[in-house]
Amino acid sequence: MKKLLLALVILAPALLFAQSAFNGTWRFSPQSGQFGGKPDTFSLQNGVYRCDSCVPKIEAKADGKDHKRTGSPYSDAVNVRAVDDHTIEVITKKGGKIVATSKMTTSQDGNTLTTEWTFISESGQKGSGTSISKRVGPAAEGANKASGSWQAEKLDSASESVLTVTFKATEGELSMSDLTGDSYTAKFDGKDYPYKGDPGTTSVSLKKIDANTIEETDKRDGKVISVTRMTVSADGHTMKMEGEDKLHGTTYKFEAAKQ
């Protein structure tokens, strides 16, 4: 009996680790995405591109040349051009290198916007995807037809680097890593811990709601930028993620399956 008790004491940390509902690699389904909140609002008119929903806002000549951008941790220059009368291409750069692209094309009837996007993370990893939005605000007269206000409807597709995340948990803390190079290790004590790999997210804090639910708060220089709640199903096979992007005033929901 004493040997059995001793074995249980020695193995206790490992057992707690193995029993965490979050442990493992998860793949989010792009088709499960649900979006709400403020729409994306931008225009290209009289040779000038404006993005009012961007943080910070963008105003630059749409001449296919690099223009200085300030206030963003992700980029320091923006390059915009009209591909045609219903397509706008936006390229952002940092230190002279391309860090993200976005090609926005409106449908023939002008009511649907398809956005093809790519990015390169701080660690050099690539991500890409296609998003679909519906028009909720008209384009100004004479503006490129892709202009207006758009409500995100669905994530049509995304690369595995965007969809896959791995968690390792113990009774007291959680570690996260993904294929774009983002990672953190934080205790469930509500205190701030370093967030690595994302220049726009400097710290993270975690709160354990129950054995199957964790609330994550991301911050930039002490200011809350997003709050996400993740809940694993009773059988441990699926996860629901629900969150709010405080910077852009948007909400999102996704579902993931354990791999």
Amino acid symbol at 195: Y
In Å, what is the CA distance from 2 to each residue of 6, 7, 8, 48, 191?
A: 6, 9, 10, 78, 39
pLDDT of res. 150: 98
Q: Is the dihedral of CA 27, 219, 229, 188 positive or negative?
A: positive
| Full pLDDT tens readout for the chain, 259 residues | 444 333 333 333 433 334 589 999 999 999 999 999 999 999 999 999 999 999 999 999 999 999 999 999 999 999 999 999 999 999 999 999 999 999 999 999 999 999 999 999 999 999 999 999 999 999 999 999 999 999 999 999 999 999 999 999 988 999 999 999 999 999 999 999 999 999 999 999 999 999 999 999 999 999 999 999 999 999 999 999 999 999 999 999 999 999 9
Q: What is the 3-state secondary structure of 15-74?
A: HHHHHCCCCEEEEECHHHCEEEECCEEEEEECCEEEECCCCCCEEEECCCCEEECCCCCC
Encoded tokens for 49: 């591109």
Query: What's the rounded Cα separation, in Å, for the pair 223 and 233?
Result: 31
DSSP-assigned states of every residue in 64-109: SSEEE--S-SS-SEEEEEEEETTEEEEEEEETTEEEEEEEEEE-TT
Domain segments of the chain: what residues? Answer: 21-35+163-258, 38-160
Query: What's the rounded Cα separation, in Å, for the pair 46 and 26?
Result: 46
Widest pairwise Cα distance in the chain: 84
Q: pTM value?
A: 0.90
Tell me, rounded to whole angstroms, the distance of Cα 212 from its chain centroid. 22
Which CATH number, 3.40.50.300, 3.30.420.40, 2.40.128.20, 3.30.565.10, labels domain 21-35+163-258?
2.40.128.20
Encoded tokens for 185: 């290790």
Count CB atoms within 10 A of the CB of residue 199.
15
